Structure 1
Amino acid sequence: MKKTGLFLLSVLLIMTILSACGKAKDQAEPINEETDKCAICNMQIKDDAFAVQLKTKDGKTYKFDDLGCMNEWKGKNAADSIQVQFVRDYNNKEWIKYEDATYVYDPSFKSPMAYGIYSFKDKAEAQKFADSQKKGKVMTAADLGKHTWEQSKSMMNMGGSHDHSVTPEAGGDKDAHGGKAGDQGTHGK
C-alpha cells in the first residue's frame, strides 16, 4: 500500500512540474525598455501596443518593436522552430497569442517601423477600431500570411515620439486613445 501511494504521489509531482514548465513557455515576457532591443532593427522596444515577441522551441525569446519586424525575422529563420508568438492588444496592451488576435491594416496607420498593422484581442474590437477610423482592413493571422508586408515610406520619414498622445491645440482626428489616428513615433530616446 505504501509503495502504491508513494508511486502515485511521485507521478502527481512529476505531472505538476511538467505542467508548470509548459505554461512558462506559453507566456509572454515583460518588456524592459532599458535593455530590450528589436531582434531585427535593433531599436529600443517600448512597452506599448506595438511590442511583439516569439519564443522558439529551444527556449529563446526574441522581441520586436513592430509586427513587421517579427515577420521579417520569421522569413529569415526557420518558422518551424517557433514555439509561440505574442502580440499586444492595441487598446490595453494585454499579451495575446498571435494566432488568436485580429488585425487591422492600413498603410496610413503609423507603427514603429511603418508596417501599419494594429492587433486586437478579438474581431469585434478590431472592427470597432476600423469603423472609428473609417479605414483599415480587418485581418486574421492567416490573412497576414498572405500580406505583402511593405513599409509605408511616407510614414518612415515622420518624426515625433513613440507616444500616441497629442496636445489639445494640435487638433486633428483622434484615435481611441486621444492621439491622432495612426500616430507613429521614432525609436529610442
Structure 2
Amino acid sequence: MKTLKHYTLLGLLILLFSCSISPKKIDYGNDGCHFCKMTIVDKLHAAEVITKKGKVYKFDATECMINFMDEFDTTQIALYLSNNYSEPEALIDSKQAIFLISKNIPSPMGAYLSAFKEKVEAEKVKAKKSGTLYTWDELLAHFKN
C-alpha cells in the first residue's frame, strides 16, 4: 500500500511540474508567430501567452497577441507577456506594462506598439518619439475600436 501511495504522489508531482506556468525563451529567427505565422526576429516587440495548463504561444508583436485573444478562450490564459522595449528580449507582464503607440517606432505588424516595464521610461521615449501612452486595459479598448 505504501508503494501505491508513493507512485501516486510521484505522479502528481510530475504532473504539477510538467505544467509549469512560466515563459519560454523565444528563439529569434526560428520561432514563428502563432497568429500571423511570420518568423519572430524583432527583439523589442515579441510577446507570449501562457495558458493555465502551461502551454506557450509566441508572437512577433503584442498586436498579434491581442488579435489572438479574439480567437482564444481568454479565461484559460494565465499570463500575457510583452518584450520590454527598454530591455530587448526581456518579457514583462503585459497587464502591468505601459504601452506607447508612436508612428516613430515601427513594430512588426504596423501597429507602432511598444511595451515598457516602467512608466517613467515610457514617458522618456514618448518625449523623444511622440505618441500616446496606454495601460493594458486602455490598449485593449483601443484595439477594439
TM-score tier, shorter chain, comes to: 0.7 to 0.9
Letter in 2 for 1:100: Q
Letter in 1 for 2:143: T
Aligned residues: 134
1:97-176 matches, cutoff 5 A: 97-133=93-129, 135-148=130-143
- SS state at 2:26 partner: coil
**1:96 to 2:92 alignment:** yes
1:1-189 matches, cutoff 5 A: 21=17, 24-25=20-21, 27-46=22-41, 48-93=43-88, 94-133=90-129, 135-148=130-143
- SS state at 1:147 partner: helix
Letter in 2 for 1:37: G
Higher strand share goes to which structure? 2
Letter in 1 for 2:77: I
* Separation of aligned partners in 2, 1:107 and 1:79: 29
Cα deviation, residue 76, structure 1: 1.1
User: Retained in 2: the 8 A contact 1:56–1:84?
Assistant: yes
Q: TM-score when scaled to structure 2?
A: 0.81
Q: Please list the CA deviations of residues 67-109 of structure 1 after superposition, one character each: whole Å capped at 9, or x if unmatched.
A: 1110110011111111111111101122111111111113453
- Largest Rg, 1 or 2: 1
* Separation of aligned partners in 2, 1:42 and 1:145: 22
% same residue: 27
Question: In 2 relative to 1, CA 100–21 (structure 1 residues): closer, same or farther, beyond 3 Å?
Answer: farther
Question: In 2 relative to 1, CA 111–34 (structure 1 residues): closer, same or farther, beyond 3 Å?
Answer: closer
* Separation of aligned partners in 1, 2:70 and 2:104: 24
- SS state at 1:126 partner: helix
Letter in 2 for 1:40: F
Structure 1: gaps (5+ residues): 1-13, 151-189
* Separation of aligned partners in 2, 1:58 and 1:92: 28
Structure 2: gaps (5+ residues): 1-9
Moved over 6 A (4+): none
Cα deviation, residue 57, structure 1: 1.6
